[in-house]
A and B are shown apart, each in its own frame.
Chain A
Amino acid sequence: MNQQELNNKLAQIKDRLIDIEQKASNRIFLLCEAQNNFDVNKFLFEDVGARFVIATGIDGEDCFEVLYHYSYDQTGCMITIKAFIRDREQPKIQSIAPFLPGAEWIEREIHDLFGIDFPGHPDMRRLILADDWPQGVYPLRKDTSRTKPPTSAFVPGKACGQLGRTIEGVESSREVKE
């Protein structure tokens, strides 16, 4: 498929999009609302055959944006799906991880940092924030306070306990001594 055929193929989902912005011959943005995002991603991945690269989260002026970046390797074209989440109180966008496992971790990261919920995600545990980071504080939101949440008190010998890992039936040598 050459560039012209790719453009024609992308025009097939025009009814799900707000706009198609072609910034350069090899740089295309597909703008859509959050509720159409899943279908557009599925079309681009399964029908067009583009390769998923990474996703980005942005805290915009009045909405959150999630950008899914794809590469169409036959022509070297980068295609970005820009999904707008208008609801700032409970931002959510349907997860694309069920058909695209490579998006699992980046969606978990965006969930950690922006508090955007991804319904349908198979495993939405915390990924990159510290274990003692308080729930409900999203550091990359623009309205988040710049003061850092206080850390939990340091107890010598219990630092690894804060990892949350316990091996049943095995006591550490330190505990046996005490």
Chain B
Amino acid sequence: MSWKMLALKKSPWVFHVNTGACNNCDIEIVNCLTPKFDVERFGIKLVGSPRHADALLVTGAVTRQALPRLREVYLQIPKPCVVFVIGACACGTGIFHTGYHIEGPVDKVIREIDPEAIIAYVPGCPPKPEAIISGVLQALSIL
């Protein structure tokens, strides 16, 4: 394992992007950061810039307007980085599958610019904070 990956797993700083979610997944993510669930005990911290981040938390099916912005944010994150896809819409566009504004699930959009991207999925509508924490820690443990 490279020292970069070791450092990433020790304390993953995350940047949160909403690419067209209904805000429910975002509420659950914010819930993870509150004292009740307190993900900072795992070294997970929300940061304000993708350039400071080790991981990307994406919620929502990718809309046409969000498409270039999500790609731009992904390119600005120092590599290696992990993309956590949170919620049913982000994992597979969910009920918005046939929408005129939907450009596809998050993994497809990111793989188009980086086929080697590390992507982890947390399905659910919305996933419970326990599920998000469990998914993130399980993904980090197998890297």
> B-contacting residues of A (Cβ < 8 Å)?
129-133, 139, 146, 148, 151, 154, 156-160, 162
Contact = CB atoms under 8 A, between A and B. Distances in A.
B100 A162 contact: no
Contacts, number: 32
A131 B65 contact: yes
A162 B64 contact: no
B63 interface: yes
B137 interface: no
A154 B68 contact: yes
A109 to B, nearest CB: 13
B65 A151 contact: no
B72 A159 contact: yes
B64 A159 contact: no
Given A130-B64, A130-B65, A132-B64, A148 B72 contact: no
Interface of B: 63-65, 67-69, 71-72, 75, 98, 100-101, 103, 113
Nearest to A133: B64
A159 B100 contact: no
Contacts of A151: 64, 67, 103
Nearest to B98: A146
Nearest to A161: B68
B21 to A, nearest CB: 16
Contact of B101 (A130, A158, A159, A160): A130
A160 B72 contact: yes
Contacts of A146: 98
Contacts of B72: 156-157, 159-160
A47 to B, nearest CB: 40
Contacts of B100: 139, 148
B73 to A, nearest CB: 9
Contact of B71 (A132, A148, A154): A154
A129 B98 CA distance: 16
Given A139-B100, A156-B75, A157-B72, 4 more contacts: A151-B64, A159-B72, A160-B69, A160-B72
B69 A159 contact: yes
Contacts of B101: 129-130, 139
A157 to B, nearest CB: 7
A65 B100 CA distance: 21
Contacts of A160: 69, 72
B115 to A, nearest CB: 15
A156 to B, nearest CB: 5
A133 B64 CA distance: 8
A132 B64 CA distance: 8
Contacts of A158: 68
